[in-house]
Amino acid sequence: MRQLRHRRLTAVVALATLLVTAAPPTAASAGAGAGAKPERAGFHRVGYFTQWGIYGRAFPVKKLDTSGAASRLTHVNYAFGNVSENGRCYVDGGPGEGDAWADYQRPVPAEESVDGVADAPGQALNGNFGQLAKLKAKHPELKVLISLGGWSWSTYFSNAARTDASRKAFVASCIDIYLKGNLPGSPGAAAGVFDGVDLDWEWPNWEGEPGNVIRPEDRENFTKLLAEFRRQLDGYGRTTRKHHPLTAFLPANPATMDAGYEGRKIFKYLDFATVQGYDFHGGWDAVTNQQSALRVPRGAPDNPDFSAEVAIDGWIARGAPRNKLVLGIPYYGRGWTGVTGGGNGLFQPATGPAPATFEAGYEDYKQLKTLAGKGYTVHRDLRSGHAWLFDGTTFWTYDDPAVVLQKTLYIRQAGLAGAMMWSLDGDDDNATLTKTIGLGLTTW
């Protein structure tokens, strides 16, 4: 049995390798792929597009189309929408609290535009929102959701969810701005860009970023907030004659699950939930480790430990239906430097996070893929479903196409609803990881 399992896993690696080593599409074929009829039946394939990705990462909305990623996705979650101290959605915050320029004000030049047409300065809708509207015009089955909160902007979620009145006002403000499209000074300009709402509250009744407002009643109030979103989204849907999806991002830590969520109850209101499948370990740890393994590796120094399977099983044990759970997959790796102890580098002491492009200890897949063969060796644990790079001093744990494909097989076998990707700007220009997920979750 063990030998058979090894053969199956080896086949996974071989299939993913074929995908990666195939000749990259030409500009003409990439365009044809982007315009081809998308395969959207069956599994959800949810990709986060980051507001700030247009800057240092040079990742405009157009790349979702030209790379072929858009035709492999069912949902794009726009990260992020902010929550004010008085519990309202807003888009015009000051520096650090908003970027209206990126969202809807920036005139996008023709070379970055989905349809090749430059924005006119001062037109009703520019920026990322305008480009998402153009992307949906080319891919009409694609759903775009506004993701509220995130690590940095979950500070005042508790205020918004605290009372019946605050919940009603918060939800109404979010629908007004994002679904009705009533941007400051431009009523209705963004109507139709967003189809629904994704709640990324990190975390109810559990510390996330320092300074977050936390209350014991967050647990019950999160359920009530979902109920209010569902009520108002359905009410709005009666005017648009559409269903407006409601989703949420949920944690991998069982303790956080118990502190902040009423298990089974929340899924009454959610179309589906995406589950954190990454950040299990990182440069904050004193020893190297996996950040996104499918299963806890043998010899792991922590007991209990985190893994994708632990996270999914944790939610199922708390009453979550399998067919509403979407597994999160990272398009980045976590790294350490100053690694000692020899061997393949795994579970060895390190001096701190590895140097990287934007943040120490955090590097996009598109950068990590270039390290293989340049002093770094790729190592794999097929049983546990994770890979890492090691050059004798620096260690990176990441998901490559072979790991991603293995995770799609797990999603199928476990009866889950699909895969989520954080974040799309970490992929390479050929959308290799997104295409791998599309391959693994194609409904034959």
Kindly list the catalytic residues: 202
Rounded Cα–Cα distance for residues 292 and 308 (Å): 7
**Half-sphere exposure of residue 77, counting CA atoms within 13 Å on the CB side?**
29
Pair of tokens at residue 176 = 């007004």
**Half-sphere exposure of residue 320, counting CA atoms within 13 Å on the CB side?**
31
Pair of tokens at residue 354 = 């590895």
Helix (H) or strand (E) holding 225: helix 218-240
Rounded Cα–Cα distance for residues 46 and 421 (Å): 6
For the chain, counts of helices (H) and of strands (E)? 13, 15
Q: What is the dihedral of CA 395, 433, 357, 391, to 10 degrees?
A: 20
3-state secondary structure of 125: coil
- 147-161 burial code (b ≥16 CB/10 A, e <16): bbbbeebbbbbbbbb
385 C-beta neighbours (distance < 10 Å), count: 26
Rounded Cα–Cα distance for residues 437 and 144 (Å): 19
